[in-house]
Amino acid sequence: MLFAGLGFELGYLLIALLVALTFHEASHALVAYWLGDPTPKKMGRLSLNPFAHLELYGALLILLIGLGWGKPVRIEAENLKPGPKVGMALVAIAGPISNLLLAIVAGIPLRFRWVSLVSDIRIPLDFLPAGYQAMYVGLGPLLQWIVWLSLALAVFNLIPLSPLDGSRLWQILLPTNWYRQFTRYEFFGLFLVMGLILSDRFFGTNILGRVLLPPVAILWRFIIGTTPPFQL
């Protein structure tokens, strides 16, 4: 499980989750707006306010089992200048690309050791019982969570199953009439994705873990230069 043994690091996780999801969904909205669709702006999605992009069940799944999603950005595909198929593919790929860029930016201080990789700032908590009278925080662990979650979201969303972003990349190869028919039923792909997530969680199949961990670990080593401290 992705978030096993968190302890006090739950705070880092929550902040990193908000940052990664916000950049992912805001990037979808921004690219759609650039391509001619005013809908995301009208819906208030051209924002870095995390609460504009949170979807309750997707966020809860990330906290509970390590995988989930943000609030989908409503897009009128017919408004996109390159056309519905190419336009939706460009909007879709913007999410994973934004997460990859975020991981690189957050990883630079870690790569060059400008910050400690461990929590090294002591905060006294004298009002608590003996043995619990201090906690340690630090920027390094937070940045590690941002990098890890951003990479995990990027790779997860590139899986070519609807409604994930990766499905939009191969759909541009479909004839227009097939594409329109496919988009009407793509919601059912959500059940397949959910089935994989729940199978991993409750039956220990680890299908998604085996798919996601190798590319995430490779990207982590490339950006940070160390072995990943987390697991999928």
Residue 56 neighbours by CB under 8 Å, 6+ apart? none
How does 149-177 read in b/e, with b if 16+ C-beta sit within 10 Å? bbbbbbbbbbbeebbbbbbbbebbeeeee
Q: Catalytic one among 9, 25, 55, 186?
A: 25
170 and 160 in contact (C-beta within 8 Å)?
yes
DSSP-assigned letters across all residues of 5-36: T-GGGHHHHHHHHHHHHHHHHHHHHHHHHHTT
**Neighbour count for residue 15 (Cβ, 10 Å):** 15
144 vs 12: CA distance, rounded Å = 9
114 vs 224: CA distance, rounded Å = 12
55 is catalytic: no
Catalogue the active-site residues: 25
